[in-house]
Amino acid sequence: MVRRLEARDETNGGRISEVKTNKPRYKGIKAVSDKDTDAFITRAKKPAGFKKIDIGPVSIEVLEILFPIRKGNKDRLTISETDQIECKESYSAHWTSNYIKTIAAFANNNGGYIAFGVKDNTWELKGINKSKFEGFDRKNFNQTIRHNLSCGIDVDMATLDLGGKTIGVVYVHPAKIKPAMFIKQNNKAGATEGHIYYRYQGENRLIAPAELQRIIEERIRMLSKTILSKHISNILSNGIENSAVLNLDSGVVDGKAGNFVIDEELMPKINFIKEGEFVEKSGAPTLKLIGEIKKSTKVIATQTVYGKDTHKYAPQKAAQEISKRSGRRFSVTNHTHAWKMYKVRPPTNAKLKDKVNKKYCNFDEAHGDYTYSEAWISFVVKKITSDQEYANLKAFR
């Protein structure tokens, strides 16, 4: 039975049945004992001499496939420079600075390998100092990347012995946040601030529109996938009726049950820290609230908000804003005086809604009232603090 099980091509329901019925082909095969069965299963799960294989980008198995020795000539490799391999004849501890453009180009594509100790074009094995390569300080790499590029980049390094010589291999991972662009002028690398390099077949050059468009679309897709998925998951977890959206610009919190506004004086005090993509630390961006909302709820003001987004102030709120910013008394009834004084037609009733200056005011039919814009508030505040005629009116002192 053990022999039949090991012969995988012959193991199926029909043939097992033939073994059971002593067909001539399988005559003489004895049933395996329970002890032997247990031993066979143990060997299958943990075969003798089993070695865990590292299938990372710089594992020996992967590198031997990528950098094969030429048949009949142990001093040369059977390779060529592609969009994922670039060869350098010698190695220097300053390789990061010398090849920063190559690093950026690989990072903006699908990653790639820099092989030190291999002569370009001839693929002749020159070899490098193994201990010098293995002693490279990763801190130098991080500092160079941070100093030149807009995002962090990861690398893996390893050595490979070929034909009695050692080559050093650096694998540049794709950037987590693309594109990786130069953030300052680098005359040595021939790069200018804002330059984006991309790895093409055998060369590093400024990115073409098609590749840049693809990177932008992929970034938007990933952001939509990660951020929207996170929010949707939270909404489903908390329940739609318990979820709301906070607009950090206007302070409006909008949910299924209605909405309210966090007072604008409170909003600057609610500090958010964005922990995003840094050279030393990678990961999904998060927001951390400093302080506790519970302590601030006493100054969260509820307010009916309606009308267009640009006309977000209901009459009472608009009057309060004007009073606060101008330092002068201003009530809801003062709006009509302001309209008249500054030669802007006052919205006296719904029939005039189409004649209202929409820059300043909008009539909301659903609520039968007007909403005022930020432009209107700024306009009135400027007038009543600079117009002497208006300042002399007793009603607004």
Residue ranges of the domains in the chain?
A: 2-45, 60-207, 210-238, 239-299, 315-396
Helix (H) or strand (E) run with residue 372 in it: strand 369-372
Choose the weakest-confidence range: 29-33, 110-114, 164-168, 215-219: 29-33
Identify which of 93, 94, 87 has the alpha carbon closest to the alpha carbon of residue 117. 87
CA distances from 284 to 37, 122, 179, 217, 380 (A): 49, 43, 17, 18, 45
Identify which of 196, 189, 194, 192 has the alpha carbon closest to the alpha carbon of residue 214. 196
**Tokens representing 193?**
């601030």
Q: What is the pTM of this model?
A: 0.50
Average pLDDT over residues 204-219: 94
Nearest-angstrom CA–CA distance, 174 and 113: 11
Those residues whose C-beta lies under 8 Å from the C-beta of residue 265, and which sit 6 or more positions away, are 299
Return the CATH number of the domain spanning residue range 60-207: 3.30.950.30
Choose the weakest-confidence range: 81-90, 249-258, 386-395: 386-395
The pLDDT of residue 58 is 93
Q: Which long-range contacts (CB under 8 A, 24 or more apart) does 247-256 make?
A: 248/272, 250/309, 250/312, 252/305, 252/312
Under the phi-then-psi rule, with left for phi > 0, alpha for psi from -120 to 50, and beta for the rest, what region is 364?
A: beta
| 267 or 58, greater pLDDT | 58
Find residue 203's DSSP bridge partners.
200
pLDDT per residue over 271-328, tens digit each?
Answer: 554 444 443 344 433 344 444 444 444 444 444 444 445 677 888 888 888 888 887 7
Find residue 158's DSSP bridge partners.
169
pLDDT per residue over 9-18, tens digit each?
Answer: 445 555 667 7
